[in-house]
């Protein structure tokens, strides 16, 4: 049984991010891997140590401040679970929260959880549009596609990015990096949502969860025709421009 | 000054002729040109409207509500000008008045009924003195353009604040809309839908306004109609659903018709509209409330609503060799959910066509598809014969259906819209439902018209 936790689904649910949970859950179900999804809202009890996969989405500014206060109370337990191999996917606002701080336009410093070594500051313009990113999991390079929409610009410290931007802005529109990757934690600006049409990443996360449970992480192959075509359609537009390639 | 207005009108009219000659709809371009020549064109023309300017805004239902109001007023014998084509930015609004103005700068009409895009409200209300402002609802719409709902309601609030001469016609069931009576202190009239047996069926949907706009507490709901529309009250402060002056009960959808019992002023009547969907009932309630506020007789107003026929892509009906086909515009999760609810409620088997584009006017971010409850299709997919996905993001749509639990052998992707539409119309199911985002709607309608006959609802 893989234990999944959707953090603050009532507040962090912009841009169809629940699709990430749907994709994770369905791809387990189609392989007969039992999954339990728990929704955790403000004030609810949660034990991170016992979980396998935590998903944190993005919200509007107001909602983000509401949940930051709540998450701060659970910070130490969350950080310890992460060091212990908890699998985490954090998108956009949720991603920013894992870092040291967010410097807003008024110069106000809003502290983050400080679990990962990066910071974010408000940019001049909003970074909006389709994105293609090259990543490498298990030494195999492949491409992710998604849609970004953020005004915060994230700068990584001594920590690895999720991938390299092929098209779009990524973390800050300057250094060509996108997302963050530490142990089993993945942060990214990619909505879309990310997991349904980037199934290699989804399966990689499922594999990590199985491993954490001490189970065989080899996954049964699925028919990914629609997913690959959706991914490929965007890559054709952004990267290859006519040169057909699978993602 | 008069001369510049004349010049602007003339240039606008010429632009309209030329663009129509080249086959463009060109509904806002004349406004762009006219405003270049004379920035005060809209202000001057709107000031000449005899009885009053009515402004309709909100996320969903603007076009239908506008058209219903125009129908009621027109049938009552008034001369009405309106942006019926749905060009609802300030340029489109300007263009609609230019269309009906004489080149000497005279506009002769009783009412101007203007559909206005939410983000264009401040600009339009700066130039136009609205006697009535109708707000339908606020849902997430094209987030890459509007970012967040908070911003939009903030913009509308600032725009309304200065309209002390206006009366607001507000949807009582949407807390995001109902809040404006308190926050602007502009007089308001409310319409709403009472509890019914369909209420709360969609409680799991993404609800945008579930927190109190005044104190931030989670609102308590006695029931939901759809999304955040329902009977709510705030446990933290005194905000609750206002008692509507116009309230509908026991809505029923049957054979392409939607009917309900309508209570107002201590009177009780029956309202029936020839369009499907609960959301269309809301549009009719808004239009009826406007008529009531303007002092029209309710009997003829109800008759007008009964004779109202949907415009392009608002559950527009076609007949393909005896098989009914419904074309519906989709642009955000709430609208799509209501379209799907209508689809699921209709009896018999269905072929479904969905075209998703991601041009600017559609919203470039298609992630909103994941906020639509396609899962309701997966629950009982035996009712569905086939799904054909089309448009620039047709593949994305197919992925969404697959993860919603629709068997993949019922789903196909076809980038050729003509073939895709044909396959839905000619499929073996009893009816066809076609959903399309904005920029795919006109091409889709054109192709359907070539294949099928218009009309054929409610027999």
Task: With CB atoms and an 8 Å threshold, state whether A226 touches B398.
Answer: yes
How many domains does chain B divide into?
2
> Is the ipTM above a cut-off of 0.90?
yes
Partners of A232 on chain B (C-beta within 8 Å) are 395
Residue B316: CB atoms within 10 A of its CB come to 22
Partners of B365 on chain A (C-beta within 8 Å) are 15, 128, 147, 149, 191
Find the CATH number of the domain harbouring B408: 3.90.190.20
Specify if A178 maps to a domain. Answer: yes
Task: With CB atoms and an 8 Å threshold, state whether A13 touches B206.
Answer: yes
Rounded to whole angstroms, the Cα distance separating B366 from B372 reads 11
Q: Does residue A51 contact residue A5 with C-beta atoms inside 8 Å? A: yes
Q: Give backbone dihedrals phi and psi of B103, rounded to 5 degrees, phi first.
A: -75, -10
User: What interhelical angle do A75-83 and A61-73 show, nearest 10?
Assistant: 80
**Distance to chain B for A83, nearest Cα, Å:** 32
Specify if A107 maps to a domain. Answer: yes
Find the CATH number of the domain harbouring B56: 3.40.1190.10
Specify if B246 maps to a domain. Answer: yes
Final residue belonging to a domain, choices B272, B288, B307: B307
Partners of A17 on chain B (C-beta within 8 Å) are 367, 370
C-alpha dist (Å) from residue B286 to B65, B135, B209, B296, B410: 7, 9, 20, 14, 39
Final residue belonging to a domain, choices B288, B307, B326: B307
Q: Does residue B407 contact residue A241 with C-beta atoms inside 8 Å? A: no
Q: Does residue B414 contact residue B387 with C-beta atoms inside 8 Å? A: no
> Same domain, yes or no, for B64 and B119?
yes
| B-interface mutation test, from A92, A192, A230, most B Cβ less than 10 A away | A230
> Same domain, yes or no, for B256 and B130?
yes
**DSSP string of B187-209, one letter each residue:** -EEEEEE---TTTTTTTTS--TT
> Same domain, yes or no, for B445 and B343?
yes
Give the domain range for residue B341: 314-454
Three-state SS annotation for A196-229: HHCHHHHHHHHHHHHHHCCCCCCCCCCCCHHHHH
Task: Decide if pLDDT at A58 tops 90.
Answer: no
Residue of A nearest to B213 (CA): A62
Specify if B15 maps to a domain. Answer: no
Final residue belonging to a domain, choices B276, B307, B338: B307
How many domains does chain A divide into?
1
Specify if B34 maps to a domain. Answer: no
pLDDT tens string, chain B, 459 residues long: the values are: 588 999 999 999 998 888 877 766 657 889 999 999 999 999 999 999 999 999 999 999 999 999 999 999 999 999 999 987 778 999 999 999 999 999 889 999 999 999 999 989 999 999 999 999 999 999 876 555 556 777 888 899 999 988 889 999 999 999 999 999 999 989 999 999 997 766 654 444 545 567 888 888 888 888 888 888 999 999 999 999 999 999 999 998 776 788 999 999 999 999 999 888 888 999 999 999 999 999 999 999 999 999 998 877 788 899 999 999 999 999 888 889 989 988 988 889 999 999 999 998 888 999 999 999 999 998 877 889 999 999 999 999 999 999 999 999 999 999 999 999 999 999 999 999 999 998 999 899 999 999 998 876 433
Q: Catalytic amino acids of B? A: 365
> Same domain, yes or no, for B301 and B341?
no
> Same domain, yes or no, for B292 and B318?
no
**Distance to chain A for B435, nearest Cα, Å:** 19
Specify if A152 maps to a domain. Answer: yes
> Same domain, yes or no, for B424 and B318?
yes
Specify if A245 maps to a domain. Answer: no
CA-based nearest residue to B45, from B89, B93, B117, B116: B93
Specify if B38 maps to a domain. Answer: no
Specify if B24 maps to a domain. Answer: no
Give the domain range for residue A129: 2-240
Specify if B108 maps to a domain. Answer: yes
> Same domain, yes or no, for B292 and B192?
yes
Specify if B191 maps to a domain. Answer: yes
Find the CATH number of the domain harbouring A34: 3.40.50.880
């Amino acid at each position: 049984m893989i234990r999944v936790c959707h953090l603050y689904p009532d507040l962090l649910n912009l841009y169809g991010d629940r699709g990430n949970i749907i994709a994770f859950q369905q791809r387990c179900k189609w392989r007969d891997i039992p999954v339990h999804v728990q929704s955790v809202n403000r004030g609810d009890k949660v034990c991170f140590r016992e979980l396998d996969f935590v998903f944190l989405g993005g919200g509007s500014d107001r909602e983000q401040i509401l949940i930051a206060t709540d998450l701060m109370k659970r910070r130490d337990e969350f950080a310890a679970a992460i060091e212990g191999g908890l699998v985490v996917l954090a998108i956009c606002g949720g991603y920013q929260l894992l870092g040291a701080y967010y410097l807003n336009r008024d110069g106000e410093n809003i502290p983050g959880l400080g679990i990962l070594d990066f910071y974010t500051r408000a940019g001049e313009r909003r970074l909006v549009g389709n994105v293609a990113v090259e990543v490498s999991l298990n030494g195999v390079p492949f491409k992710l596609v998604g849609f970004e929409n953020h005004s915060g610009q994230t700068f990584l410290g001594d920590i690895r990015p999720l991938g390299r931007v092929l098209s779009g802005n990524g973390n800050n529109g300057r250094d060509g990096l996108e997302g963050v990757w530490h142990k089993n934690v993945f942060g990214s600006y990619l909505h879309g949502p990310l997991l349904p049409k980037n199934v290699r990443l989804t399966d990689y996360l499922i594999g990590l969860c199985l491993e954490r449970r001490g189970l065989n992480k080899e996954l049964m192959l699925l028919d990914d025709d629609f997913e690959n075509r959706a991914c490929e359609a965007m890559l054709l537009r952004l990267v290859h421009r006519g040169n057909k390639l699978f993602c | 000054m008069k001369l510049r207005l004349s010049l602007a009108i003339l240039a606008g009219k010429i632009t309209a002729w030329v663009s129509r000659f080249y086959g463009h709809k060109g509904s806002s371009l004349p406004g762009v040109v006219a405003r270049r020549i004379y920035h005060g064109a809209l202000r001057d023309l709107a000031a000449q409207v005899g009885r009053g300017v009515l402004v309709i805004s909100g996320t969903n239902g603007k076009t239908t509500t506008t058209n219903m109001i125009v129908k009621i007023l027109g049938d009552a014998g008034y001369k009405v000008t309106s942006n019926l084509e749905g060009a609802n930015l300030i340029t489109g609004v300007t263009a609609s008045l230019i269309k009906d103005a004489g080149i000497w700068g005279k506009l002769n009409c009783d009412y101007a009924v203007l559909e206005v895009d939410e983000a264009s409200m401040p600009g339009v209300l700066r130039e136009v003195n609205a006697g009535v402002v109708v707000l339908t609802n606020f849902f997430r719409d094209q987030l890459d353009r509007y970012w967040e709902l908070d911003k939009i309601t903030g913009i509308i609030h600032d725009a309304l604040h200065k309209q002390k001469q206006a009366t607001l016609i507000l949807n009582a069931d949407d807390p995001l809309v109902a809040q404006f009576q308190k926050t602007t202190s502009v007089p308001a009239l409310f319409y709403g839908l009472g509890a019914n047996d369909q209420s709360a069926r969609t409680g799991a949907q993404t609800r945008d306004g579930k927190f109190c706009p005044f104190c931030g507490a989670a609102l308590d709901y006695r029931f939901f109609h759809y999304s955040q529309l329902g009977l709510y009250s705030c446990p933290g402060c005194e905000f609750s659903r206002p008692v509507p002056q116009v309230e509908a009960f026991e809505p029923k959808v049957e054979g392409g018709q939607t009917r309900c019992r309508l209570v107002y002023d201590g009177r009780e009547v029956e309202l029936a509209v020839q369009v499907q969907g609960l959301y269309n009932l809301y549009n009719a309630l808004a239009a009826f409330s406007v008529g009531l506020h303007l002092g029209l007789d309710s009997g003829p107003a109800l008759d007008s609503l009964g004779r109202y026929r949907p415009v392009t892509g608002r559950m527009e009906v076609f007949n393909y060799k005896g098989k009914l086909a419904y074309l519906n515009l989709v642009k955000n999760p709430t609208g799509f959910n209501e379209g799907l609810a209508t689809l699921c409620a209709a009896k018999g088997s269905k072929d479904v066509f969905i075209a998703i584009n991601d041009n600017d006017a559609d919203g470039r971010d298609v992630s909103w598809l994941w906020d639509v409850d396609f899962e309701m299709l997966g629950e009982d997919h035996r009712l569905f014969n086939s799904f054909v996905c089309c448009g620039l993001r047709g593949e994305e749509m197919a992925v969404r259906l697959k993860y919603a639990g629709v068997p993949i052998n019922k789903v196909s992707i076809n980038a050729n819209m003509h073939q895709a539409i044909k396959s839905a119309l000619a499929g073996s199911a009893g009816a066809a439902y076609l959903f399309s985002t904005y920029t795919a709607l006109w091409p889709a309608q054109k192709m359907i018209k070539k294949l099928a006959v218009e009309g054929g609802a409610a027999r």
